[in-house]
Structure formats: structure tokens, C-alpha cells
Amino acid sequence: MNGSNSADPGSTGVRRRSDATRTAILAAARERFAADGYERATIRAIAKDARIDPSMVMRYYGNKEGLFAAAVSVELELPEPGSLPRHDIGRALVTRFLDLWEENEVLTALLRVGATNQAGAERMQGVFREQVMPVALRACPDPEQAPARAALAATQLLGLALTRYVLRFPPTVALTREEIVAWLAPTVQRYLTAPAPENAPAPENAPSP
């Protein structure tokens, strides 16, 4: 007897194929955007990599801009600022970003694109502005300094990613997670929570990272 809530096997199969197709498209897009940059990457090349017709890419994402936005959608899932002891913010951020760089190719692909393309750079800036800035606002002693402090923390987090996962400097690659946290966490902590240097000028509407 079929209940009213029973799933239609046919529709379930279609949904699974659709999900698989989207997954293949996004995986191919990330690799192509990372390798070729936004401008040179094409829908046709991405479709070929995903082994589907280009019309399927257009069907799901409309155009290259829509595909790029979907392929590099990043949710950092940082701890809620209020849930972290102030003295532990640096360690928590470095640990979380290590997890992201090592487990999620999206952020690395976005870093590669952002280094050479304005659209990628703006997307990366948005990620830090919307998701890292609240942590800086909570941690820093002067809210007006939050943009500068978040930007300084970003120099450490992005510099690590660039040298370890993109350029792959051998000494950086050779560091263990524990060593990276031990070296970087105090620096990120200082950027976010230490008193401003005496000679540092007061921020005047400093732009967000």
C-alpha cells in the first residue's frame, strides 16, 4: 500500500542525477578557475572537464558569473565570537583555517583566482569582511581598529595558505599543524587583542579587508 508520503522512485532518481551533475560541474569549475583564472576559464572547457554538455552548465547556473559565484561560495563556519575566550581567539582562528585549507578545496581555489582576478579578489575580501570582521570586532580593544586588525590577521592566514597550499614552499609544507599553530596563533592573537603600538596612527575610516 502506497502512503501519501511515499517518495516517488522516479523523482528520487532524477534528483540524485541532478545532484551528481551539479557536484561534477562545481568540482570542474573550481579546478578550471584555479588553473586558468576567471577570464580565461570558459563554460565549454568546464563542461568538457565535467563530461557534460555546455548547455547543462547554463541550465543550472545561467552564465559564467553565476557558476563562479556557486563554485566559490565559502562558509567559514567560524566559532561565534561570543563563545570564544578572548585569550584563545588566535589559536581558534589558526586551527579553523588549517582545517579549511586542508579539507575544502573551495577556499584554495578562491585564493588562486583572487591573486590574479578582480572578481576573485572581491569575493575573498567579502568572505573576510563578513565572516572574520565580527571576530575582530569582538576581540579588539577599540572597535575603530577592527578593520586594520582583521587585515593584519588576514596577512598571516592567507600568507600561510599561499606558501603552504599554492606555492608550496618546502619548509612551510614540512611544518606540522602543531608547529603552525604554535608559531602563528600568538601573532594572530596579538594583532587582534594587543594594545595598538604607540606610533601607530589612529584609524580614519579604515577600509575592511
Q: What is the pLDDT of residues 48-62, one digit of tens each?
A: 999 999 999 999 999
Question: Rounded distance, CA 153 to CA 174, Å?
Answer: 22
Residue 182's pLDDT is: 97
Statement: residue 111 has pLDDT above 90: no
Decide: residue 129, CB within 10 A, 0-12 exposed, 13-18 middle, 19+ buried.
middle
Question: Rounded distance, CA 9 to CA 128, Å?
Answer: 43
Contact between 34 and 112 under an 8 Å Cβ cutoff? The reply is yes
Q: Mean pLDDT across the stretch 176-192?
A: 96
Nearest residue to 106 (alpha-carbon basis) of 27, 188, 208: 27
Confidence tier at 204 by pLDDT (50, 70, 90): low
Residue 71's pLDDT is: 85
Residue 158's pLDDT is: 93
Question: Rounded distance, CA 90 to CA 97, Å?
Answer: 11
Residue 11's pLDDT is: 66
Residue 198's pLDDT is: 80
Q: Mean pLDDT across the stretch 181-193?
A: 96
Statement: residue 7 has pLDDT above 90: no
Percent of the chain with pLDDT over 90: 50
